[in-house]
Amino acid sequence: KLFGRKADIAVLNSGGIRADVPAGNVLKDDMVAVFPFHNKLVLVEYPGQVLIDFLARQARRPQPYAGAQVVVRDGELESMSVGGKEIDPNGTYYMVTIDFLLGSGDNMRLAAGSTDVKYTQLDVIDVILDYLAEEKAAGRPISAQVDDRYVSIGERRN
């Protein structure tokens, strides 16, 4: 909604998530404790091969992401997909992330290989708080769900 197009994948970094969300009623202060940094949202455009390379790195050191599935078997990457479909190396994909990760933040360097970056002046916490307010106003509870975005089968190799 912020960028006028749907992102294929969203990526944060586990170092930027600083607390657990408590069960039950959640206060604004609880969410600010979870996301205390003033990281701005960005939309990054990638060729498919760059996204494939990024997800392959996720197999070794996963960070919080949504929209993709990575399957690792015995420590080796077995498969990956975005939106339930195989990634086209020649296709174009869009990632929502934070400005901190575009440079050297957590060594992710998400600007590398990008073909376009659209910046906002919106902090990730502000967007999350707006989303939570919309869901509350609509009477929809927020609940955590376990999914299969990262699946590890067998033993991990070092």
Q: For the segment 29-80, what is each residue's pLDDT rounded down to a tens digit?
A: 999 999 989 999 999 999 999 999 999 888 888 889 999 999 999 888 899 9
- What pLDDT shows up at residue 114? 96
In terms of DSSP bridges, do strands 9-11 and 76-82 run parallel, antiparallel, or are they unpaired? unpaired
Using DSSP, state whether 102 is helix, strand or coil: coil
pLDDT of residue 157 exceeding 70: no
Length of the chain: 158
Return left, alpha or beta for 121; rule: phi > 0 is left, psi -120 to 50 is alpha, else beta.
Answer: alpha
- Distance CA(138)–CA(52), nearest Å, equals 37
Nearest to 118 by CA among 40, 55, 11: 40
pLDDT of residue 10 exceeding 90: yes
Are 51 and 82 in contact by the 8 Å Cβ rule? The answer is: yes
What token pair was written down for 33?
């404790």
Are 9 and 68 in contact by the 8 Å Cβ rule? The answer is: yes
